[in-house]
Amino acid sequence: MRYRSMREAMESGETLVFGHRGAMAQAPMNTLAAFDLAREQGADGIELDVQLSHDGHLVVIHDETVDSTTDGRGSVSQFTLSALKRLDAGGWFAASFAGQRIPTLDEVFDAFGNEMLINVEIKARRDSLDRVERQLADCIRRHNMRDRVIVSCFDPAILRRVRSMTPLVMMGFLHQPDMPAAHHRPLRRMRHEARHPRHDMVDEAYMNWARARGYYVNVWTVNDGERALQLKGLGVNAIITDEPGRIISAMKQC
């Protein structure tokens, strides 16, 4: 790992590259194969999504259902961990990835936590929110990942509760142009270190605004090399991309 902590990386003056759900353009998203490929391509970190299985385990999957990224059908929350582990999470992408499984967050931390920074996005159903937050806080403590993760979410209330449980873990607020202003109000009552805007929101004015408030800026999802160079020139702290290898190569031109 180039950086000992997320904060050190954000303060480095470099534009970091995070693999969005791993290197998801070349491997099935949110699988160990996708995260391993992002590492091979030279990414500084990975971004992933977590939610709870029926029996309360943190699993790494984006959608509320397993339909589009496994050979199963139904809501993630309806499956126990053992049932989720029986699903094929790679064959839908390519035959060469058949047999990939939905990983737990414990497995990802074990495999990559000592080498990569990790952005954990909470994808949670309203009926499981408190359990997700507590499980995440416990998992971070168990693996001693406090300094190497940033927790992100579109819901400020979730971030506020995670902060109360893990006050030293960095928090990033995800946002996009169509979010109503009222959605941002809870942020006034919650300390957070980073803003995670959709990349087309970011220009010089946005960066000036963020710097004036002391926020790091980590943008999503950038797959165009020219745009990555523009964002690097603006001084964003991190770029989240489906193609880390391609974006890293593009930024080396500058």
How confident is the model at residue 253, as a pLDDT? 81
Tell me how many domains the chain contains. Answer: 1
SS3 70: coil
% of residues, the chain, pLDDT over 90: 87
% of residues, the chain, pLDDT over 70: 97
Q: State the Cα–Cα distance between residues 83 and 226, nearest whole angstrom.
A: 43
Note whether residue 152 is domain-resident.
yes
Note whether residue 94 is domain-resident.
no
Q: What is the 3-state secondary structure (H, E, C) of 98-139?
A: CCCCCCEHHHHHHHHCCCCEEEEEECCCHHHHHHHHHHHHHH
How confident is the model at residue 179, as a pLDDT? 85
pLDDT of residue 124 exceeding 80: no
SS3 201: helix
Which residue range(s) make up the domain with 239?
6-51+116-251
pLDDT of residue 122 exceeding 70: yes
Cβ atoms of 21 and 45 closer than 8 Å? no
Note whether residue 80 is domain-resident.
no
Structure token digits, residue 147: 């300094």
Catalytic residue among 20, 192, 196, 199: 20
Catalytic residue among 54, 62, 175, 183: 62
How confident is the model at residue 180, as a pLDDT? 83
Note whether residue 89 is domain-resident.
no
How confident is the model at residue 145, as a pLDDT? 98
pLDDT tens string 153-162: 999 989 999 9
Average pLDDT of the segment spanning 13-38 = 98
Quickly state the pLDDT bin for 190 (edges 50, 70, 90).
Answer: confident
Note whether residue 162 is domain-resident.
yes
pLDDT of residue 243 exceeding 90: yes
- The b-or-e profile of 206-228 (16+ CB within 10 A means b, else e) is bbeebeeeebbbbbbbbeebebb
Note whether residue 72 is domain-resident.
no
CATH of the domain at 43: 3.20.20.190
Q: Which residues contact 189 (CB under 8 A, 6 or more apart)?
A: 160
How confident is the model at residue 128, as a pLDDT? 65
Annotation says 62 is catalytic: yes
CB-facing half-sphere around the CA of 18: CA atoms within 13 A: 29
Q: State the Cα–Cα distance between residues 80 and 126, nearest whole angstrom.
A: 18
Quickly state the pLDDT bin for 127 (edges 50, 70, 90).
Answer: low
Neighbours of 62 (CB within 10 A): 17
Note whether residue 88 is domain-resident.
no
Q: State the Cα–Cα distance between residues 251 and 90, nearest whole angstrom.
A: 30
pLDDT tens string 33-63: 999 999 999 999 999 999 999 999 999 999 9
How confident is the model at residue 189, as a pLDDT? 75
Average pLDDT of the segment spanning 88-112 = 98
Structure token digits, residue 201: 């929101």
Note whether residue 174 is domain-resident.
yes
Q: Model-level pTM?
A: 0.96
pLDDT of residue 184 exceeding 90: no
Annotation says 143 is catalytic: no
